Structure formats: C-alpha cells, structure tokens
Copies of this chain bind each other. A is one copy, B any other.
Amino acid sequence: MAQEITLKDRYGYMLWMRHFELACLEGVPTREIHGELHTGVGQEAISAGMVGFLSKEDAMCSTHRNHMHAIAKGVDLRAMLAEIFEKSTGICGGFGGHMHIFDPSLKFSATGIVGAGVPVALGHAYAARLKGNQAVAVAVVGDGAVNTGAFHEAMNMAGALSLPLVVVVENNEWAISVPFSASSATETIAERAPSWRAHGIRVNGLDVEEVANAFEAALARARSGKGPSIIEAMCYRFRGHFEGDADMYRSKEEKERRRSEDPLERTKETLVARGLATLEELNEIEKSVVASISEMLASVRKDPSPSGADATRYVFAE
C-alpha cells in the first residue's frame, strides 16, 4: 500500500491537515467552538508520514490533539469538522466534541486524558493477537504522556506479550508549559524502549519521509510478531497549547526560530529540489485544498446544532 503514496501525495496530505486546522481556528472567535481547541499546526509531517500504511483492521488511538491523526487514518473530514463545530452532523452527533472523535468503522478513537489512549491501543493489539490477523494498534501521544502510569503499564504488557503495538510520540518538547527536558528522566524517549522490550527510534518529525520509513519498519516489526515499537518524532507546536493560551512560557525567539522550520515548506523545497514537482504545481494544489476546505466549512456552518431534547440519550445502550 505504502508504495503508492508519493512524497507529493504526502505533501498534499500535509496541506489538508494544515488547512483543516486553520479552518477550525475560525470557529474560536465566533464561539462556534465554545470549548478548548488544540491544533497540531507545525506537526503535520508526523501524521502525513503515517498515511497509507494502515488498513481498516488497524486501530489508532489518539489524544486531545487528534485531528491530523484522524486524517491520517482516513476519518471523514467533513464529519469531523462538523463535530468540532458542534453540529448534529458531526461524527459523534455533537456529543463528543473535538477531543472525542470516534470512528469505529476505522477503529479510530481519541481521549482527552493524557496517556489514556495507550492502554486502549493495547486492547486493540490484544484483539489482533486473539483474531490471529495482521492488524496493528497505533497509539499517538505527546511527550508528556510518556510519564504517565498508564503508558508504562500498557507498554509493559505489550512487551511481555510481544503485541503489535506501535506508539508514535509527537515530541514537541513541551507539555503545556513544562519542557520535556525537565520532566523526563532520560534525554530521549526512544532510549527507554528496551525497558519495555520495545524497539525505540528517534526521528526528525519535520521530515515526512523519515517518519514514514520509521513507521513502516515499526509496523513490519509488529506484524511479524516481534512486538512493540516507540517512534519518537521530534517536532514543535506552532501555536499555543490550546487556542487562547497566552504561551508566555516559550520565548519569542524560540517560537520564531522553530516556526521558521515549517515541515510544509521543507517538503515543498524537497519536492522542487528533486524535480518531483514545480512550485507552481504545488501552489495550485494548495489553492485547491484551501478552496475545498473553505467550501466544506461553509457547508458545515449551515448544518443544524444537535437538538437539546437528545441530550439525555446514549447514557445506556438499552
């Protein structure tokens, strides 16, 4: 499957991801989105690097910062955008909100509790073992999640049972205001992997190809029964932790410097440098993505809000 995804394709996905997030931002000042919003702007290369390797049978468990992971897994963009904009047409009918994207048909789910997705992924990985199929469970987490108890418990069991679990850690070096370096006993996350009998690798999370290669290798390892992997993808969150975050804990200098290393620009340059596309061509692609998303947003905005009368449904199945 992976062979079909070219670097240009990945760039296209990155554009969709970036502009999807930018569309979400529009809902904040208008209060169409009335709660917290966490976007992944700047971290696109990691999700785009995961595109194309996973089937419907593979699971993905994500976080509070989940939109781009969902796009990588193939979740319907419009239904997700509608959920984020609190519409009854949302993928969860508006019951979830942006931190709770569920798509059971794709085995995609998310949680707002840091670290809590990893044990859920463990369950998917164990299901693959029970079913005896080739499925893999992917958990995507931030660097902060590695220090939670849930992470350790799940990784240990995955290691002990040699389960097909791949954990992608988006190490953006910050957990809200607390720097990774101050909260981790080790300098890297990858080096911790052996303590869970996992394979660990640190990659440049701005380099979509490096991510794709590591992800492909980890999946192969998992599918062949060799057990869990941790991919630590270094990156930087371009915006505040959530929209509205004053983000005073990161220096202006740091933010400017790191934002200048834009994974989209980087990929674009590579494509042009390798002669795989012209700048004009890529700009055209971007224009069309922008147009599509803006159309989608306009359409979503016309959707109805969920009916208050339904608010007490779905507590119990019966």
Instruction: Please give the residue numbers on chain A whose beta carbons come within 8 Å of chain B beta carbons, in ascending order.
Output: 147-153, 155-160, 182-186, 191-192, 194-198
Contact = CB atoms under 8 A, between A and B. Distances in A.
Contacts of A185: 155-160, 195-198
Given A192-B195, A195-B195, A159 B147 contact: no
Contact of A152 (B151, B158, B198): B151
A157 B152 CA distance: 14
Contacts of A191: 194-195
B194 A186 contact: yes
Contact of A153 (B147, B159, B186, B192): B147
Tell me the number of copies of this protein: 2
A150 to B, nearest CB: 6
Contacts of A195: 185-186, 191-192, 194-195
Contact of A150 (B147, B149, B192, B198): B149
Which one of A155, A158, A182, A185 has the greatest number of beta carbons of chain B within 10 Å? A185
A160 B148 contact: no
Nearest to A146: B156
Which one of A148, A159, A195, A196 has the greatest number of beta carbons of chain B within 10 Å? A195
A116 to B, nearest CB: 11
A242 to B, nearest CB: 24
Contact of A184 (B148, B156, B192): B156
A194 B150 CA distance: 19
A89 to B, nearest CB: 38
Which one of A150, A159, A160 has the greatest number of beta carbons of chain B within 10 Å? A160
A52 B193 CA distance: 37
A21 to B, nearest CB: 31
Given A186-B195, A191-B195, A195-B186, A148 B159 contact: no
Contacts of A160: 182-185
A7 to B, nearest CB: 35
Contacts of A147: 152-153, 156-157
25 contacts: A147-B152, A147-B153, A148-B149, A148-B153, A149-B153, A152-B152, A152-B153, A155-B185, A156-B183, A157-B185, A158-B185, A159-B185, A159-B186, A160-B183, A160-B184, A160-B185, A185-B195, A185-B196, A185-B197, A186-B197, A191-B194, A191-B195, A192-B195, A194-B195, A195-B195
